[in-house]
Amino acid sequence: MKLWTGRFHKELDKTTNDFNSSISFDSRMAREDIKGSIAHATMLGSCGVIDKAEADAICKGLEGILADLESGALSIDPNAEDIHTFMEAELTARLGDSGKRLHTARSRNDQVALDVRLYLRGQCETLRGQVTELVRVLCKQAKEHSGDVMPGYTHLQRAQPITFGHHLMAYAEMFLRDLSRLEDAQRRMNVCPLGSGALAGTTYPLDREMTASLLGFDGPTHNSLDGVSDRDFCMELASAIAICMVHLSRFSEEIILWCSWEFKFIELDDAFSTGSSIMPQKKNPDIAELVRGKTGRVVGDLTTLLTMMKGLPLAYNKDMQEDKEAIFDAVDTLHMCLTAFIPMLDTMRVLPENMRKAAARGFINATDCADYLVGKGLPFRDAYKVTGALVAYCIDHDQTLETLPLEQYKEHHELFDRDVYEAISLDRCVNERKVIGGPAPENVRREADRVLAIMEEKEHE
């Protein structure tokens, strides 16, 4: 029986019913629906809207339904219109008329808005835990490789020397911001829409503060129209997830490059790689590739939500049923990607000798060579030009700045002396970049400790 059949004279067409149904994806909110209904019934009994004994019976009946669902004694009917209809029908089957009183002073509009908030609040907690673990792994690896020199890149061209630890901490900063965005999204969604009714509240003397408190919300929503039609929290969470996936995708792209024979900076553990069906030598970074690929679908989920909401008048519209599949997919995808990505990163083997060879061949100490001349009194633009000519000479004669004889240096400018070799040493180039945010190993270790301390604080909040 449909909740709205009193107005209609004909049964809903089966095709239309299937099109209208949301049970296939909102059934995952069964626990949240029961939790919200128990709070609602408790409040109704407390306010005298329904008899206290009847409210207690409703709560007990709902607890029994949850227990039966969790034990497998009860299955959700796939033919039900949605999870809310299923729960009310099951409760009424068990309690009779008492079950029908649960929906007093409540609409499916504010019920749906509540269930989605409750569900996403819990998912935010899970995702925050995973991102925190990812940041911890990055910090651990960064400290272990704080002194391993590698080329830093711009335009995918070797640019200046950094360390592998410094590179990893750049991603730690990105994921710290992702963590902050998830926290913000969770905080802003933590208001209770129950009591907003269909759109205009109710004439029953409800205690909305009580309901919000029972469900762990910071308070009730302050406008009934907004209470049932707001999906900002879905869009905001989807945005935070999409940005996090973009960061994972960028990182995945680097891992894919680093695994290739052209770079060979790292090797992934066999447990997180796959082979080829025809080429026995292959070891493919499939997890990183899948993360990179799945980022597109999450960006699509965000686009779905934004496009769905952009033309909707107040208050509820059936278009908004499309919110769940999009935000659920975004949540599920990030969760799945982090579940695979974190241990892959934790077990990867770093090959610092290959990184250093690449750094030595890329003239990435050219800026330091120019700075050496500046230290001798030459204006930077002149020093830049001299160093550029040196690099061109080295390329033409199969040399590097480290192997170039001193007499060749002096031919390009008389200010060069033997101490130039110390100035352009890769270790010195990295170690002397001690400015805040620089790649000096001591900086990397200090920053890793700072970020780990932040993670520790968040755990105890």
CA pair distance 349, 367, nearest whole angstrom: 31
Residue 405, Ramachandran bin (φ over 0: left; ψ between -120 and 50: alpha; else beta): beta
CA pair distance 31, 39, nearest whole angstrom: 12
CA distances from 436 to 72, 118, 125, 371, 447 (A): 57, 41, 32, 19, 10
Q: Which of 24, 222, 260, 276 is catalytic?
A: 276
- Tell me the DSSP string of 59-92: HHHHHHHHHHHHHTSS---TTSSSHHHHHHHHHH
Local structure of 429: helix, strand or coil: helix
Is 276 among the catalytic positions? yes
Task: Supply 142's token pair.
Answer: 């960064």
Q: Which are the contacts of 394, defined by CB distance < 8 A and separation ≥ 6? A: 363, 400, 401, 404
The CA-to-CA distance between both ends of the chain, in Å, stands at: 47
Q: Which of 155, 239, 260, 412 is catalytic?
A: 155
CA pair distance 425, 365, nearest whole angstrom: 8
For residue 25, with 0-12 CB atoms within 10 Å meaning exposed, 13-18 middle and 19 or more buried, which class applies? middle
Count of CB atoms situated within 10 Å of the CB of 14: 9
CA pair distance 265, 212, nearest whole angstrom: 53
- What is the signed CA dihedral for 389, 391, 395, 400, rounded to 10 degrees? 140
Say if residues 142 and 450 touch (Cβ distance below 8 Å): no
CA pair distance 217, 264, nearest whole angstrom: 50
Count CA atoms within 13 Å of residue 395 on its CB side: 9
The β-bridge partners of 274 are: 284
CA pair distance 461, 262, nearest whole angstrom: 45
Is 167 among the catalytic positions? no
Say if residues 329 and 118 touch (Cβ distance below 8 Å): no
Instruction: Supply the residues annotated as catalytic.
Output: 155, 276
